Amino acid sequence: MIPVEDAQEIVLHNVVVSDAEGVPLAEAFGRILRQPIRADMDLPPFDRAMMDGYAVRAEDTVRAPARLRVVGEVLAGMTFSGAVAPGEAVKIMTGAVVPPGADAVERVEKTEREGEWVILREPVRPGQHITPRGSQAREGEIVLEPGIRIGPAELAVLASFGYAEVQVARRLTFGVLSTGSELVAADARPSSGQIRDSNGPTLRACLAMAGVVGQPLGIVPDDLTLIERSLRSALERCDGVIVTGGVSMGEADLVKIALHRIGARVFFERVRLHPGKPFCFATCEGKPIFALPGNPVSVVVTFLLFVLPALRRMLGCREERLPLIEATVTEDATHSIERRSYLPALVWFSEGQAFVRRVPWEGSSDLVGFARANALLVLPEGVASVRAGERARVLLLPWGELR
């Protein structure tokens, strides 16, 4: 049994960064950027009006109120053919090019129009309500670094600098295999001694959250030959495999035997962790195999701690592990000191401070209790309890809603 950090390092050291591929901009959302993005022009490419109003020379307004002659109008997408001379103003719209000679814009609400004249009631300062050319980005400047997930804001940057196609991490596919003779599909009515498989849908959702395709491999009973056959088939068509169940110490726990039979290299079989101790990591022909415990909460905890960082490394993400925050514990929490615990918890914020308490649950099979959590409260090895009022580390669930 090895510590959590050791297990994480072993996993990360034994996965390989995937290839990149070019995709159209319209298909880049949610993908991991794999090239530096450089500005192909200054942004904005001209001095740009921030408000509807009048482009003026600031020095003409020093002795406000100032009466200026309006000599033209410029709309967004147009340019003014002349220049603003002393005593003149040009009506301007938001986003339009500030005409030569003008060095400020006064918004229309602070002006009065009298025929061909406009009256500015207050002085304006140079640069007022103008976004200078190149203030957001200079031509040639790197504006996005590789390794980030492309979201709406990143798409806007890509479009602004002409990236109609962009290099992203190749879409990975991981097989998801549930083992156990007690399992039936979600649309089946369990008979005596049976339960529905929740791990398959859970892991496919977790993979989708990570930007990875989850390939359903179905349910395999506790039969060594069938498990071995399913693993071999999955490795032929997927970038890796996640299998749940069959990794503990019982007679029907056959996954580790199957891993050895297919020639996989098993790096470790147990982690000093609760829930999730019987977590096994292996590789076969360079492809990772994650063998997770069968209990639903253990599945999610081990996915977040080990599988997700590995996927992020394979995709080339800059940030591989989920961040931890500190929160004030509002109720006493105890655990076994032999292993590190990641306990389902509820985090909320009040007056800028984070608070956390455990949610009621009955162990690693209690998926209903776990569904009430938005975080995992981390209790370290060697510490029997955390008292109300003390600070503790918390891992926020990526899909959890903060309150």
Superfamily of domain 324-396: MoeA, C-terminal, domain IV (2.40.340.10)
- The yes-or-no verdict on residue 182 having pLDDT over 90 is yes
pLDDT digits (tens, 9 = 90+) for 146-175: 999 999 999 999 999 999 999 999 999 999
Give Cβ neighbours of residue 27 (< 8 Å, ≥ 6 apart): none
Structure tokens at 329: 């514990």
Confidence bin at 236 (pLDDT 50/70/90): very high
Residue 281 CA to residue 14 CA, distance in Å, equals 10
Return residue ranges of the chain for CATH 3.40.980.10: 4-18+172-315
Confidence bin at 251 (pLDDT 50/70/90): low
Helix, strand, coil distribution of the chain in percent, nearest 5 = 20, 35, 45
Residues in the chain: 403
- The yes-or-no verdict on residue 306 having pLDDT over 80 is yes
Q: Which CATH architecture has domain 48-131?
A: Beta Complex (2.170)
pLDDT digits (tens, 9 = 90+) for 49-83: 999 999 999 999 999 999 999 999 999 999 999 99
The arithmetic mean of pLDDT across residues 306-335, rounded, is: 96
- The yes-or-no verdict on residue 403 having pLDDT over 80 is no
Ramachandran angles phi, psi of 210, nearest 5°: -85, -5
- The yes-or-no verdict on residue 192 having pLDDT over 80 is yes
Give Cβ neighbours of residue 227 (< 8 Å, ≥ 6 apart): 179, 220, 243, 246, 254, 255, 258
Amino acid at 274: H
**Angle at Cα 336 formed by Cα 334 and Cα 341, nearest 5°?**
75
Gyration radius of the chain over CA positions? 30
pLDDT digits (tens, 9 = 90+) for 28-43: 999 999 999 999 999 9
Give Cβ neighbours of residue 336 (< 8 Å, ≥ 6 apart): 274
* pLDDT, position 252: 63
Return residue ranges of the chain for CATH 2.40.340.10: 324-396
- Going across the sheet that includes 265-268, the strands are 213-220, 173-179, 240-244, 287-292, 280-284, 265-268
Mean pLDDT in the chain?
A: 95
The CATH code of the domain at 20-42+147-169 is 3.90.105.10
pTM, to two decimals: 0.90
Return residue ranges of the chain for CATH 3.90.105.10: 20-42+147-169
Please state which CATH class domain 4-18+172-315 belongs to: alpha beta
What is the share, in percent, of the chain residues with pLDDT greater than 70? 99
The arithmetic mean of pLDDT across residues 241-249, rounded, is: 86
Number of other residues whose CB lies within 10 A of the CB of residue 63? 8
